[in-house]
Amino acid sequence: MQVYDLIIEGGEVFTPGGIRPLDIGIREGRIEKLGALGSTSAAERLNASGLLILPGVIDTQVHFREPGLEHKEDIESGTRSAVLGGVTTIFEMPNTKPATTSPEALSDKLRRASGRAWCDYAFFMGASSENAAELSEWERLPGCAGVKIFMGSSTGDLLVEGDADLERVLRGGIRRVAVHCEDEARMRERKTIAVEGAHPRFHPDWRDDLSAVMATERLLGLAKKTGRRVHVLHVTTRQEIALLGEWKHLATAEVTPQHLSFDAPDCYERLGALAQMNPPIRAREHQEALWEGVFDGVVDVLGSDHAPHTLDEKALPYPQSPSGMTGVQTLLPVMLTHVLNGRLTLDRLVDLTSAGPSRIFGIARKGRIVRGYDADFAIVDLKRNEVLRREWIASKCGWSPYEGRLLKGWPVHTVLRGKVVVRDGALQGSAQGREVRFLETLAALGASDA
């Protein structure tokens, strides 16, 4: 008689108690047994000998451009990139066309994802001055990752600039709010720096460190005033790291692999507009402060901020060139490279990419390899060293800022709720993704996660 739907055998498993040689027995999408399973019967077996089994990566900041900008990316291609890189859950951002600022727009994205998403998913609701009063209700909708605020303009037209509107958004609701912190007024004043400079190297001068610090200071003041928990996305400055270290009771923080891996001005000289993103990649002193924030716990999450544009768009004269780069597929191998180079511990990486996102956003049954949790795994080969080639990138835009870089530690298999969706580096089967369930939303609705 069949006992398990899937047994993963022979691998080293990253558990909360340490790395151990274990088999994993999976039934109905969840982990049922960790231990020696020997000849126990199963519908399917996956040999993980010589490999390390990590919790599936949860990337809580991606831009998959659908609807409205599908020439850059769409939900199918973006989630395909995700699972090829060991990412099993994504939170997608609201700056699409139209923006995700209503229940109807959220429902449309959920409909588009059904049957096409290769990994599990949730979608942020974009805040605006027009919908602030409704967000406390809408943030509890199934498939909603929470509320996203753009304090500084980026791709798209979502912007909540003034303190009065920010306070209205923060007063409405209970879930943690994700915020892009750049001071729009300061950036408007400094736009001539970019126009006159006419090269991406001026991007961190135009959108300077003070524009980020000023916005984060304003946000934290309003968080204190309203008692609302906030999550500061893509932190880039040493001043913000110092500030956020004093606000852990209300604020969590994200950094991106690219801000930990590239520094100015070198990246702009080598990559041009391919290194252009918002907030910008900054000088080495800021990068070192981000690493300190990773070491001492100020940083809670690693997010890719996957934000693709075509090479033709990136070739436009700066500052007409759009900001953003690919990242969801490379997040794990880039950060494993830092681990294997001695810059980061594996324990810390897993907390930043799996357990941490689950804890901060209240995701049900994800982020750890324990009994009863979803059987989401990134199975990696730490002995594999390979130069990243453009051909590996599954994103529609077809490029990566890491092209030509030697990466150490590569995803081999990806398992989503007990289904092998990537085997030996190749997609397998059909898209299996479904909407993420959140503890706070379930509690507010009186629902169960059974």
Round to whole Å and give the CA distance between 24 and 369: 9
DSSP letters for 292-316: HHHHHT---EE---B----HHHHTS
Q: For strands 87-92 and 57-62, give the pairing.
A: parallel
If you write DSSP's letter for every residue of 212-265 in order, what string do you get?
HHHHHHHHHHHHHHHT--EEE-S---HHHHHHHTT-TTTEEEEE-HHHHH--BT
| Residue 145 half-sphere exposure toward CB, CA atoms < 13 A | 30
Name the helix (H) or strand (E) containing 385: strand 377-387
| List 74, 208, 305, 351, catalytic entry | 305
**Strand pairing report for 57-62 and 406-416:** unpaired
**Residue 305 known to be catalytic:** yes
Sort 323 into a burial class: Cβ within 10 Å, 0-12 / 13-18 / 19+: buried
321 neighbors 267 (Cβ within 8 angstroms): no
Q: What's the longest Cα–Cα distance across the chain?
A: 73
User: Catalytic positions, please?
Assistant: 305
